[in-house]
Structure 1
Amino acid sequence: MKKVYLLFSLLAILVFTGASCISLKGSSETSGTGGVFKSIDKAEKWQQKIAVSSVKGNVNIANVDVSVLVFDPQDSKTIYLGTANNGLLYTLDGAESWQRVAGLASGKVNDIVVDSKNKCAIYAAVGNKILKTIDCARSWQATYVDSRAEGVITTMATDLDNPSVIYAGLATGDLLKSVDSGASWLVANRFDSGLVKILVDKKDRKIVYAGTTKDGIFKSIDAGKTWVDLTPKLKEFKGAKTVRNMVSDLSKDNTFLADTKYGMIKTTDGGETWQAMNLLTPSGDVQIYSLAINPKNGNEIYYGTSSTIYKSVDGGASWVTKKMPTARAASYLLVDPNEGNIVYLGTLTIKK
């Protein structure tokens, strides 16, 4: 009887100390230190948020590489997580637990758009396809498929006032537009190099910005019908034609930041003039993997590199460094639109 009791006790210990722990597939390097981290004090301290709701035991995303994090516009507790290899996950409780999407459980998700008026309508850019669900991720259909292998969808954006309008940028330089929630698409423009980011102005939704890999930044004031090349205004910033990321300052009109090969630059007048941001990292020497601005306070800016998070509380005039909670790179930063003290960090293993 004692032997049976001892065996049962040992089994119980194994279960409750994590022997049943299952990690979603990711990089073998820096094992267990990836996934998503959350700070409730503006990046001072971090907690790893990796638990996955599952009947198969203690499943987690500790080894997952993050490519994108997107809030539901109607509920900042709901966040969609696009991964580099493990498809799409989501949380309904501010990253306390994650749920896998059965119909999209593998592959790289490059970007995500959530309908601002119908939270069950979600778009995901996966390879050369745009997938859509209208039943809260229970099932997915391809709403766009590019026939070219190089036609990878790299970025998407939507008109928050009229979410039936969606823009999608391709690695080929094609910029697609749908005005009927993805039922049909037209090529709004063909740029000469790939698209990395599309921004829709927060006040005038007809104003759209497109950042490219080699040809700088373009602007449309008629919802994508015609485009103006802003590159001549960037001449003093050598390398600024190579755009890596762009982020809107939602607390101010006509203001956004662009991370470029030159470094980080800022406009406060819709691209008419630009200023170089005074960073702690030398311009162009250190790759910036992520960039975020507090939606309610544009003076609070964060950017992440392969080893450090940098924070400014004065619009970039000065910066302080914050220790990363992991040996992985800061692949994505996201500030809660309602509670600016909450910051989410997605991580990525950088292959050497």
Structure 2
Amino acid sequence: MKNFIKITFILTAVFMFSGCSFDLNKLKESSVGGFLVSDGNENKWVAKNYYDEKANISGVDILTMAVDPINPDVVYLGSKDNGIFVSDDGGNDWDKIMEFLPTKTYGIAINPFESQTIYATGVLGKRGKIFRTDDGGKSWLEIYSEPADGTIVISLAINKTNPQVVFAGTSGGMIIKTSDGGSTWENSYTGKSPITKIVFDEINENVIYFLAFKEGVLTTKNEGNDFEFIKIDDNNKEERKKRENFSPSTIQSIVADPGNEGVAYFGTEKGMFRFSNFGNNIEEVEIIGSSKEFPIYAIAVNPKNSSEIVYAAAQAIYKTTDGGKQWSVFQLDTKKNVSILKYNGGQPSKIYAGLREY
């Protein structure tokens, strides 16, 4: 019975990360979707989906987003069915990177010192692969492939101080690492749950968080030499009270606090939680109560002000500038959910959002 449950779980997870293709030219801008921008101090959002005179990207399901660290007006979107889109003007106009052949793109990572070097995961046929471009997307080199169909690469992250180091996670529960830009790879961890998110600590690059689907958060403090699941001391009554609504299996999103070492925010199916001291302490963030009824798939923290946080639940985006005491709310006219939120690093008053169906 245990083996049957394990196999069923993996197959279900892989199915969730798959999708069917469709013709971009048939897309109609009938509702809010695709890509949104908030530009200014107020929590107001505008759709930015222009592709050409006949088509737009409002119907594209966005799985991942990467913002160029050198020119943050350059934004890359990885989609469920249409590969990678790029905008060089903060989302006003979009182009599809035709040279990138895979249709499904779950992870994109950009070299912070040389932003023409980009890593992206992709699915060709039914096999997961990783690609690298050194010319901004004009040509792509396959640098990793799964040995057989079925397993796909669903998460990707780059070390910001040593961009030769890249971590990737698979739907089969493996974490792999390259230390030479993809020329060679090594197995860092093998588990039983898909690795859906990888997040580096913003201050200490040796600390990395890995979200294991429906299991919890793995962390390493030595860049992948050792791993352990974040656990809370149940014998501490004060800590137990702070986390009474917290369950590791319900975590949906992770973001590291850019201003504080060892601090991260986790979005769950029942609220948001702030982990500090590298996961040894936890407290629930006071968010709008009704939003706790929906999974929090996306969180972002202002890179210049850790008291400013945005998160999304269902069809609403929430923003605080005082660490969570008060929140502004923006309602979206859509049936989709916000899958990812990113700040423009050079202009933090500008925030990007990608939407998808779950």
TM-score (norm 1): 0.84
Q: Which moved more, 1:105-114 or 1:268-277?
A: 105-114
Structure 2 CA distance for aligned equivalents of residues 81 and 174 of structure 1? 24
Aligned twin of 1:172: 172
Q: Which moved more, 1:177-186 or 1:64-73?
A: 64-73
Aligned twin of 1:107: 103
Structure 1 CA distance for aligned equivalents of residues 233 and 86 of structure 2? 40
Structure 2 CA distance for aligned equivalents of residues 191 and 232 of structure 1? 21
Contact 2:309 2:320 in 1 (8 A): yes
CA offsets, 1:245-303, max 9 Å, x none?
A: 10011022221101234432111221111111222145863122321111111111111
Pick aligned residue for 1:68 from 64, 68, 75: 64
Identity of aligned residues (%): 26
1:118 CA displacement:
1.6
Contact 1:305 1:329 in 2 (8 A): yes
Aligned twin of 2:331: 323
Q: Which moved more, 1:147-156 or 1:70-79?
A: 147-156
Gaps of 5+ in 1: 1-22
Gaps of 5+ in 2: 1-22, 235-239
Aligned twin of 2:35: 36
What amino acid sits opposite 1:96 in the alignment?
N
Structure 1 CA distance for aligned equivalents of residues 130 and 256 of structure 2? 24
Q: Note closer, same or farther for the CA distance 1:32–1:189 as it changes in structure 2 (3 Å cut).
A: same
Q: Note closer, same or farther for the CA distance 1:43–1:305 as it changes in structure 2 (3 Å cut).
A: farther
1:329 CA displacement:
2.1
Pick aligned residue for 1:251 from 246, 249, 259: 259
Contact 1:87 1:109 in 2 (8 A): yes
Q: Note closer, same or farther for the CA distance 1:147–1:233 as it changes in structure 2 (3 Å cut).
A: farther
Contact 1:65 1:347 in 2 (8 A): yes
Q: Note closer, same or farther for the CA distance 1:112–1:163 as it changes in structure 2 (3 Å cut).
A: same
1:328 CA displacement:
2.9
Structure 2 CA distance for aligned equivalents of residues 171 and 232 of structure 1? 26
2:256 is equivalent to residue 260 of structure 1: no
Contact 2:165 2:181 in 1 (8 A): yes
Q: How does 1:89-168 map to 2 (within 5 A)?
A: 89-104=85-100, 107-127=103-123, 128-168=128-168
Contact 2:206 2:222 in 1 (8 A): yes
Structure 1 CA distance for aligned equivalents of residues 216 and 161 of structure 2? 27
What amino acid sits opposite 2:328 in the alignment?
V
Structure 2 CA distance for aligned equivalents of residues 262 and 247 of structure 1? 17
1:90 CA displacement:
0.7
Q: Which moved more, 1:321-330 or 1:291-300?
A: 321-330
Q: How does 1:1-352 map to 2 (within 5 A)?
A: 24=24, 31-42=30-41, 44-52=43-51, 57-104=53-100, 107-127=103-123, 128-233=128-233, 236-237=243-244, 238-281=246-289, 285-350=293-358
Structure 1 CA distance for aligned equivalents of residues 231 and 253 of structure 2? 15
Q: Note closer, same or farther for the CA distance 1:140–1:211 as it changes in structure 2 (3 Å cut).
A: same
Structure 2 CA distance for aligned equivalents of residues 282 and 152 of structure 1? 35
1:159 CA displacement:
0.8
Q: Note closer, same or farther for the CA distance 1:329–1:204 as it changes in structure 2 (3 Å cut).
A: closer
Q: Which moved more, 1:64-73 or 1:227-236?
A: 227-236
Contact 2:269 2:296 in 1 (8 A): no
Structure 1 CA distance for aligned equivalents of residues 314 and 269 of structure 2? 16
Contact 2:32 2:334 in 1 (8 A): yes
Q: Cα RMSD between the aligned structures?
A: 2.3
What amino acid sits opposite 1:60 in the alignment?
N
Contact 1:26 1:65 in 2 (8 A): no
Structure 2 CA distance for aligned equivalents of residues 307 and 77 of structure 1? 25
Structure 2 CA distance for aligned equivalents of residues 268 and 26 of structure 1? 47
Q: Note closer, same or farther for the CA distance 1:92–1:204 as it changes in structure 2 (3 Å cut).
A: same
Q: Secondary structure at the match of 2:109?
A: strand
What amino acid sits opposite 2:60 in the alignment?
V
CA offsets, 1:207-231, max 9 Å, x none?
A: 2221211331222121101112213
TM-score (norm 2): 0.83
Q: Secondary structure at the match of 2:120?
A: strand
